[in-house]
């Protein structure tokens, strides 16, 4: 059974930074991509950033230049460095793994940007 565990969320002031981590465990034959989604209050879940096994990345327009997605040396880990955070970044952030067309999800970690 595949499990994704996120960490690193919390409360931060506008303009601050946070780093989210995701660790995948269980039987995963091949990871095609790892990424982060978020769901803000009253909104639908949206893709924030994704990195493929080949290292290609894509970002939501709203976070370009502020967020950076990366993979760890252990290929079952992923990170989201979030800088210049804004109140509108407040959301539950979910780690996502795509493996052979199957999507796996973590339980989410709350990020609150507020003064």
Residue 28: the pLDDT is: 75
Segment 26-68, tens digit of pLDDT: 877 788 999 999 999 999 999 999 999 999 999 999 999 999 9
What residue has token string 């690193």? 8
Of 75, 107, 72, 114, which is closest to residue 93 (Cα–Cα)?
Answer: 107
Contact (CB, 8 A) for 45 and 39 = yes
pLDDT mean over 3-7: 94
Vertex 46 angle, CA 105 and 51, to 5°: 65
Q: What is the pLDDT of residues 63-112, one digit of tens each?
A: 999 999 999 877 789 999 999 999 999 999 999 999 888 999 999 999 99
- 64: closest CA among 48, 80, 77? 48
């Amino acid at each position: 059974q595949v499990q994704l565990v996120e960490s690193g969320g919390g409360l931060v002031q506008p303009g601050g930074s946070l780093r989210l981590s995701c660790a995948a465990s269980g039987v995963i034959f091949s990871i095609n991509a790892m990424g982060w989604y978020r769901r803000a209050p009253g909104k639908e879940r949206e893709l924030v950033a994704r990195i493929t096994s080949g290292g290609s990345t894509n970002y939501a327009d709203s976070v370009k230049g502020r967020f950076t997605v990366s993979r760890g040396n252990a290929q079952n880990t992923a990170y989201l460095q979030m800088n210049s955070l804004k109140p509108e970044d407040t959301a539950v952030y979910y780690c996502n793994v795509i493996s052979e067309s199957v999507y796996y999800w973590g339980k989410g970690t709350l990020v609150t940007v507020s003064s």
